[in-house]
Amino acid sequence: MIEGNRLDIEQVEKVIQSPSNLIAKSRDEREVKGYYVALNRLEQYVAQHHPITQKVIQTLHALTMGGGKLHVAPTSYRDGQNVIKDSGTGTIVYMPPEAKDVPGPMRNLVSWIKEENTALPCPIIAGIAHYQFATIHPYYDGNGRTARLLTTLILHLGGYDMKGLYSLEEYYAKNLLHYYRAISIGPSHNYYFGRAESDITGWIEYFIEGMAVAFEKVVAQMVASNKKGGKDYSELLRTLDPKQRKALQLFKEYDVVTSKQIGELFGFKSRTSGALCKQWVENGFLRVVDPSNKARKYSIAASYGILLNQ
């Protein structure tokens, strides 16, 4: 919606649920498929505690622009100049740095994210990174989506994961004008005339307010669920590590799974996923349904099965 996609929620669900080998017919469908695949890869990075690198960012961009392709090569940064224009008037509203000046700032951005990992609160790092990525504008297209993916990755790695109950993008989409005004900071539309050195306090305040709104929405859902008689399973959930909590999503779709499916969920090789399943059986999270070495299958242990209906 932020990027002008015309599909409604029901249409989006149909696109996501369609077979992965089905070629999307429209640009809107390709955008949805690409972004959904990129979000899945993002969750794999989080489960692996994968550090943020330029390759990670380039891969997320490639998946976003890939129309649903699962296997893509990281996309190189743009090799020419691009500009952002007002869709109504055609006026240039922002001119990012020249292509030759993109690699350096991107390298510095990734280094800064790593360096500030413990020095600043995670939401502040995410907000600044979002702004700086949009400022560098390293691609011809897909910069907004990739900036928001980078932001989400930073937040989730820092423990700020709203489990799909709400997203910052919903906050942006409800007032797009406010979003673009907040991020359009600087004395000039030209990168070289102050954009990179601008006071971004206004953007950071807007970004943090969005996080507050998002988490208030989550709390409201919790309160509403409690009033309807919903039970609190947080203590049981705390006995699971992040990978096990993510694996619950798989068991919501399938009663029985293989180690290969577990591996695909996290992006692990077969040996790693096999060892993980063995560990989960030993600690009581999984139970073996089919002991065959070639087609060993697993189900979730009965003690955790109650979480699948929540």
What are the pLDDT digits (tens) for 229-269? 878 787 888 788 878 888 888 898 899 999 999 988 888 88
For 304, the token pair is: 């955790």
pLDDT score of 164 more than 80: no
Query: What pLDDT is attached to residue 266?
Result: 82
Query: What pLDDT is attached to residue 92?
Result: 86
d(CA 262, CA 269): 10
Least confident of 60-74, 142-156, 265-279: 265-279
- Among 10-14, 108-112, 294-298, the range of highest mean pLDDT: 108-112
Query: What pLDDT digit, counting tens, does each position of 62-105 carry?
Result: 999 999 888 999 999 999 999 988 777 888 889 999 999 999 99
Mean pLDDT to the nearest integer, 44-63: 94
With beta carbons less than 8 A apart as the criterion, state whether 153 and 46 touch: yes
Query: What pLDDT is attached to residue 185?
Result: 78
What the chain holds in terms of domains, given with CATH numbers, is: 9-217 (1.10.3290.10), 234-309 (1.10.10.10)
Residue among 59, 56, 60, 102 nearest 79 (CA): 102
Helix (H, G, I), strand (E, B) or coil at 190: strand
User: Phi first, then psi: what are they for 41, rounded to 5°?
Assistant: -65, -40
For 134, the token pair is: 């949009």
pLDDT score of 222 more than 90: no
d(CA 145, CA 175): 17
Residue 115 half-sphere exposure toward CB, CA atoms < 13 A: 7
Residue 106 half-sphere exposure toward CB, CA atoms < 13 A: 26
d(CA 189, CA 195): 8
d(CA 41, CA 49): 12
Q: Which residues contact 24 (CB under 8 A, 6 or more apart)?
A: 15, 30, 32, 33, 67, 68
For 131, the token pair is: 């702004």
Q: Which residues contact 67 (CB under 8 A, 6 or more apart)?
A: 23, 24, 30, 31, 33, 34
d(CA 46, CA 158): 9
Q: What is the mean pLDDT of the chain?
A: 88
Mean pLDDT to the nearest integer, 171-193: 85
Burial of 223 (0-12, 13-18, 19+ CB in 10 A): exposed
Query: What pLDDT is attached to residue 142?
Result: 95
Mean pLDDT to the nearest integer, 262-280: 89
Query: What pLDDT digit, counting tens, does each position of 105-139 carry?
Result: 999 999 999 998 778 999 999 999 999 999 999 99
d(CA 34, CA 36): 5
Helix (H, G, I), strand (E, B) or coil at 49: coil
